[in-house]
Homo-oligomer: A and B are copies of this chain.
């Protein structure tokens, strides 16, 4: 059976790669008011550290979302309207990432730190929900899936995205009280993902997003 999702993947890859590359536009060249000497410049660059952190977290979050998108679409061979729109929702949320990321960079050192982290983690809760929706749409009709996919693999994929939900929700709720800790959870999720996926066969999907 021929795979018919080529252009969906091409369009999605476009959105992911642009989303990831536009993040750099949120790093600003410092305006030096007291002379252009290197001490001044270095100081200003150091003061922008929340921007670098936001850039790194956002880049690798989108990258991991792309890896998961890649995995999920390896199992999908046909598409219907529900699938198209679930995928559109993921792309919509991914194309948004650079905005909360810029808010985080701008307000992390201000009184609005908590609010900016809450908005940021809230977006990742929505992205997790959209992935759940995508897999729900795809696995509902087995004719859309790779022929010969096992029920176990379908269940595993569903569980991964389902288990991701409470973790992201926990980060979101924590952000109201301990914003820094909420961000740490986001980073720990990558490490967990990277380590756990090393052990398993890549074609047997079982990672958190």
A interface, CB within 8 angstroms of B: 7-25, 27, 29, 35-38, 40-42, 55-56, 59-60, 63, 66-67, 70, 79-82, 84-85, 88, 91-92, 95-96, 98-99, 102-103, 106-107, 110-112, 114-116, 194, 197-198, 202
Taking CB atoms, residues of chain B closer than 8 Å to A23 are: 95
Q: A14-B14, A15-B21 are in contact. List 14 more A-B contacts (CB 8 A).
A: A10-B13, A11-B16, A15-B17, A18-B21, A20-B95, A23-B95, A24-B99, A29-B103, A36-B112, A38-B114, A41-B112, A59-B92, A60-B88, A63-B91
Q: Quick check: A79 and B202 within 8 Å, CB to CB?
A: yes
23 contacts between A and B (CB under 8 A): A7-B9, A9-B10, A10-B13, A11-B16, A13-B17, A15-B20, A18-B18, A20-B91, A20-B95, A21-B95, A24-B98, A24-B99, A29-B103, A35-B111, A37-B111, A38-B111, A38-B115, A41-B107, A41-B115, A55-B96, A59-B95, A60-B88, A82-B198
- B20–A17 CB distance below 8 A: no
By CB atoms of chain B within 10 A, which of A10, A11, A42 has the most? A11
Say how far A14's CB is from chain B's closest CB, in angstroms: 3
Expressed in whole angstroms, the minimum distance between the Cβ of A208 and any Cβ of chain B is 13
Q: How far is the CA of A41 from the CA of B88 in the complex (A)?
A: 29
Instruction: Judge whether B15 and A85 touch: CB under 8 Å.
Output: no
Contacts of A35 in B (CB 8 A): 111
Interface of A: prevailing SS: helix
**Which B residues touch A112, using CB under 8 A?**
36-38, 40-41
Instruction: Say yes or no: A70 contacts B7, CB within 8 Å.
Output: yes
Q: How far is A3 from B36 in the complex, measured between Cα atoms in Å? A: 52
Residue of B with least CB distance to A114: B38
Measured CB to CB, the nearest residue on chain B to A6 is B9
Q: A21's contact among B9, B19, B114, by CB below 8 Å, is which? A: B19
